Each structure stands twice: as structure tokens, then as C-alpha cells.
Amino acid sequence: MDKIFLHDLRVETVIGIWEWERKIRQIVAIDLEMSADIRKAAKTDSVDDTLNYKGVAKRLQQFIGDSSFQLVETLAENIAAIVLDEFEVAWVKVKVNKPGAIRGARDVGVIIERGARPDSG
């Protein structure tokens, strides 16, 4: 399996459980690994034959910037669902970092891996 990755996508959003966090925007940093078969794109040298990571980044920037979750876990699940559903990848690994959330630590966050959902019908 080939992978396309996007590292350190930084977006301001409302995230956190504390009342003061609900009133400000904080930075989250996103890392993605997405399954892709890049053989056709490698032969044709055409972006139309591969996963458009710029499209993924723009979609996630819009979604994350407009979101208002309490937990990074919820944000990660929603990011995975968008990538799987809208970009037709079979597998995604999502890492959500919340820099500066814990004093003395560079960042804290979650890493999840999700596969495509089977068709429901």
C-alpha cells in the first residue's frame, strides 16, 4: 500500500473542555497518512490520477476552522470520516496535536487509524 502524507497542518479552532477555552481560538496541528495507489499517477504524471492533498488540506482547514469540539478525540474522528468519505481512501491515520495544552510538554493529542466503512446497502 502506498501512502500520501500531510504533516503539521496548523489550524486555529475552538477546542477544549474549560470555559476559558470555549472563548478563544487555539492552534491544532494535524498529521495525516492516507492510503493511495500512486502507480497510475507515477505513469501519467497527472494530478488527476492521484489523491489531491491540496484538496484534502483545504477541506480540513475549512472544517477545523469552523468546528467547536471539546475533545481532540472527537475532532480526530470527524477528520477521519471526512477523508474516508469525501476523498475515497481505504485507510487513514490521523494525528491531532494540541500544542501547549500541558505545561512542560510540547504537545498532547491522539492518533487514530480508520478504514473505509463497508457499504450499508
Alpha helices in 1-121 (DSSP H): 39-44, 53-66, 72-86
Q: Which residue out of 23, 40, 95, 98 is catalytically annotated?
A: 98
* Residue of 102, 18, 28, 104 whose CA lies nearest to 67: 28
Q: How far apart are CA 35 and CA 23, in angstroms?
A: 36
Catalytic residue list contains 43 = no
- The residues carrying an active-site annotation are 98
